[in-house]
């Protein structure tokens, strides 16, 4: 179409550049802590749940998902297309304080919820201090007596 007759030309060019966005923008995430558990909620609207893959390798958690274009999209002339399709991936580096073997993933209403519990050894704990039940008193001559009593000669 002739540029003079296409008022959307500049907008299409600008918005076309935005469509080539990093996967993190296609998979926005909220990350929070709830007690001893970290919770990641990743928006994946329009994704077929069977295409979601979550794996952990070397403390890197990877989420992959695929959003396929609708069959209704064929034959359309797009003026703006902001809903990306294709395969997307997002990676999180996990610290040593999480229990990798207890991570859970649930997908509901277009949101993937990852529950990442803290490792037991990373949780704060109280350490008991051992002490003897009988106090020891050290005498001026270097000898000690139990119970704090001293002998007089």
Mean pLDDT by 10 residues, the chain (153 residues): 48 44 70 91 93 93 89 80 86 88 94 91 79 71 58 50
pLDDT reported for residue 143: 65
CA distance 31 to 42: 9
Record the pTM: 0.63
pLDDT reported for residue 97: 85
> Rounded to the nearest 5°, which phi and psi values hold at 14?
-65, -50
Q: Which residues pair with 90 in a beta bridge?
A: 63
pLDDT reported for residue 147: 54
Fold of 23-71+83-125: Immunoglobulin-like (2.60.40)
Q: How do the domains of the chain map onto residue ranges? A: 23-71+83-125
pLDDT reported for residue 14: 45
Give the end-to-end CA distance of the chain in Å, rounded to a whole number: 118
pLDDT reported for residue 144: 61
Question: Residue 40 CB: number of other CB atoms within 10 A?
Answer: 19
pLDDT reported for residue 8: 47
pLDDT reported for residue 29: 93
Gyration radius of the chain's alpha carbons: 31
């Amino acid at each position: 179409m002739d540029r003079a007759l296409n008022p959307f030309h500049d907008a299409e060019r600008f918005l076309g550049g935005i469509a080539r966005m990093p996967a993190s923008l296609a998979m926005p995430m909220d990350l929070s802590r709830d007690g001893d558990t970290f919770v990641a909620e990743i928006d994946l609207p329009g994704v077929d749940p069977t295409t979601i893959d979550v794996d952990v390798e070397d403390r890197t958690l990877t989420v992959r998902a695929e959003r396929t274009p609708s069959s209704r999209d064929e034959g359309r002339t797009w003026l703006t297309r902001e809903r990306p399709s294709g395969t997307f991936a997002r990676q999180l580096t996990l610290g040593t304080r999480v229990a990798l073997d207890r991570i859970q993933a649930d997908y509901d209403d277009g949101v993937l919820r990852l529950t990442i519990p803290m490792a037991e050894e990373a949780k704060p704990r109280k350490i008991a201090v051992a002490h003897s039940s009988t106090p020891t008193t050290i005498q001026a001559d270097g000898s000690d007596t139990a119970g704090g009593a001293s002998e007089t000669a």
